[in-house]
Structure 1
């Protein structure tokens, strides 16, 4: 059981949503927390011991952020790579140039930029890293990273890649006693889930959980040193479809609903 008391943690996306909730919960458990966010004022408002305004897609900025944490607090025990974005539903065909790349730059490259400079400090403390994959694309939580996500291909691509990054990093760091947890969220009530072209239904709203519940689930998984955690647990059953891969893609191709999605998102 990992103890957060006295630990030093860095949380990206710490200015809002799940990241801000993680900052609060970690602080309550006795950790010294640095919140990193592209919005420095939001990071300052999180209650973190240290707030840094930085874009996770900026490799040098993240290296400086990690160095500042280690210099100021003398160690780094926990890294939560929570920063993530998406765009309003649209196909790659009609997205503004650079929009899809920005999603991948923040979600995937940003995670890499956060972890690379943190590796040696985490080895020194035998620490723990958290990477955020996904069980669903926020505006259309029916599919997400389990299946190709119409209207959000860049998001699902980035989150699948983050999963593989976490799996590989776990293998590389296990000889040094560094733990890795990969978190997969279902729909969480954040700004991203409201980037939709259709009004939410009562059933879709009932499926959402609060950022606080999402953060608590991640922190509980780290406490228990779990390798992967699906939050909320009601989505665990979706794991059974994962090995089916392109066979499920073929089913999607025959789905009238998916064809309707394509037409809708192509006109976004």
Structure 2
């Protein structure tokens, strides 16, 4: 099938789902990876034959390897991967924090992202493709005791290192760094903040940059 193909984790809602919609609108095929099988099946149905639902757990590397292989078989190649899956914490700070929540956060925000990168790299090396990582404004400034923020500092540091590694084979790496976005990530609506489609447009902007240009970071903040 014609068109480039992108693999998106955390694709069942929020930034992941809107990025899938924006990518299809821009002519891309999309692989929708998330645990919520019903949600990605519904989204794939909405997007039509350019989308493929790939249920799986981001903390399971073999699940991601299998999903990427299926996606490549379906569309011929994988030209980009968006490591977007992430989680937050119910208790902020170190003293009040819950170590069990920290472990879950590290599994998803750090190891899950590493598994996406490792699983996607053979495909991206073949296609001279692009890796995108969801960072955060919380990974660009110090927030008192924030373990979540520290996980996003990892993403920003690792993304820069990956850009250097991927440059060796003509690949690119971009960190997408939003401020507060009105998504299910938060318990209460934030309608005056950024919307997922704002970040999706940033994803497509980075993907569609001329191949000679690597947009290494897109930092998007709400006006209010």
TM-score normalised by L of structure 2: 0.87
SS of corresponding position for 1:176: coil
CA distance in 2, matches of 1:87, 1:100: 8
C-alpha contact (below 8 Å) 1:184/1:231 kept by paired residues: yes
- Residues 1-268 of structure 1: pairs in structure 2 closer than 5 A: 6-47=3-44, 49-136=51-138, 145-150=140-145, 153-194=146-187, 206=192, 208-224=193-209, 225-232=214-221
Q: CA deviation at 1:156?
A: 1.0
Asked if the contact 1:10–1:33 (Cα under 8 Å) also holds between the matched residues in 2, the reply is yes
SS in 2 for 1:98: helix
Conserved 8 A contact 1:15-1:45: no
CA deviation string 1:156-205 (max 9, x = no partner): 1211111111111111110111111111110000122336xxxx8xxx75
Q: Does the CA-based 8 Å contact 1:149-1:156 persist in structure 2?
A: no
Contact 1:183 1:229 in 2 (8 A): yes
How big is the shift at 1:97?
4.0
Q: Is the 8 A contact 2:91 2:98 kept in 1?
A: no
SS across alignment from 2:151: helix
1:45-80 CA deviation, whole Å, 9 max, x = no partner? Answer: 223511111111111111111121122222100111
Q: Which has the higher helix share?
A: 1
Greater Rg, structure 1 or structure 2?
A: 1
TM-score, normalisation: structure 1 = 0.74
**Which consecutive segments of 4 or more residues in structure 1 shift more than 6 A?**
none
Corresponding residue of 1:265:
none
TM-fit CA distance, 1:154: 2.6
SS of alignment partner, residue 46 of structure 1:
helix
Residue ranges of structure 1 left out of the alignment (5+ in a row): 137-143, 236-268
